[in-house]
Amino acid sequence: YRENYDDIEVASPIRVKDDRPGNRIVVKESYRLPNPWTADPEDPEWFSMNVFLQGIRDVLVQADHTHREAPLALEHPLSRRHEIRLHLPGTNDDWEGFFDESKQRHLSAAGEFESWTKYNGRKVEATIVANYHTTADHVDPEDLKDYVSATSKSYEATAIELWETNQPSDDSSASMLSSSPNANGNEEVAWAFLIGIGSLVVGAVGFGVGCLITFLVMRERRTNPAAGGPSPTQFPPQHRSGPPPLPPDAR
């Protein structure tokens, strides 16, 4: 996780549960991100934070090129689920209608990816979920181009981008997720993100491994500048880069 979060800290010791009846091992890890926000280099009043469905990214295998004569080998059977819970500041009025709850589904010759977001107004909590499972142990050369396309779309869907501005607008500051606007009051609030990974990896011997990983991210809202300052841009910078490229298969 340090590749994505330089200042990550361990919040509590790792806990391991051997679930023999369920034929899986559950590992719970807790981390704290003291300062997850990064100022945009061209619009310094905007700050962004990226979270990743890392449990899914780790198992999306990509070929280094599509011109192959031999099939691309894959680990199979494999099934994994990654869940991110965002515990949001403010009230339901701040966030209702903010999140896109539509599903994404990408099918390939050897796997199926599905993701969705669910918002709970009572808890003021958004849950982002992705599932991926393999359906074959290889990809034939003639199917490789379509497989690469579907896998790349799945990989892009595993990056979640949060934006916030430091400038006031009618005595409020705006927050955004995936370029969707949202306004909150300018009072001091703390952001808390709980990122949980629930995964089940089934190998040839039928052994399951479950992993629950929690990130705690706390941030106090920055003090708004004096009244009469410049108004914020209504949308976050459009020059931001997308998720990093999918790494090629090392095998």
pLDDT score of 231 more than 70: no
pLDDT score of 88 more than 80: no
Q: Is the pTM above the cut of 0.75? A: no
pLDDT digits (tens, 9 = 90+) for 44-84: 778 777 778 888 998 998 888 888 899 999 999 888 888 77
Instruction: Give the CATH architecture of domain 9-63+71-156+205-219.
Output: Sandwich (2.60)
Burial environment of residue 65 by CB neighbours within 10 A (0 to 12, 13 to 18, 19 or more) = exposed
Q: What are phi and psi of 37, to 5 degrees?
A: -90, 140
Q: Alpha carbon of 200 to those of 45, 82, 129, 175, 177: distances in Å?
A: 41, 10, 14, 34, 28
pLDDT score of 193 more than 60: no
**pLDDT in the model for residue 111:** 96
85 contacts: CB under 8 Å, gap ≥ 6 = 125, 126, 127, 128, 193, 194, 195, 196
Domain positions in the chain: 9-63+71-156+205-219
Among 101-105, 155-159, 186-190, 209-213, which stretch is predicted with the lowest mean pLDDT? Answer: 186-190
Q: Alpha carbon of 34 to those of 8, 14, 88, 145: distances in Å?
A: 7, 19, 16, 41
pLDDT digits (tens, 9 = 90+) for 129-165: 899 999 999 999 999 999 999 999 999 998 877 676 6
In the numeric block, the tokens 């806990």 are attached to 15
Q: How far apart are CA 34 and CA 218, in angstroms?
A: 6
- Overall size of the chain counted in residues: 251
Calculate the average pLDDT of the chain: 69
Give 25's pLDDT tier (boundaries 50, 70, 90): low
Q: How far apart are CA 50 and CA 158, in angstroms?
A: 10
Q: Which of 156, 160, 192 is closest to 177 using CA atoms?
A: 160
**pLDDT in the model for residue 27:** 67
pLDDT score of 241 more than 70: no
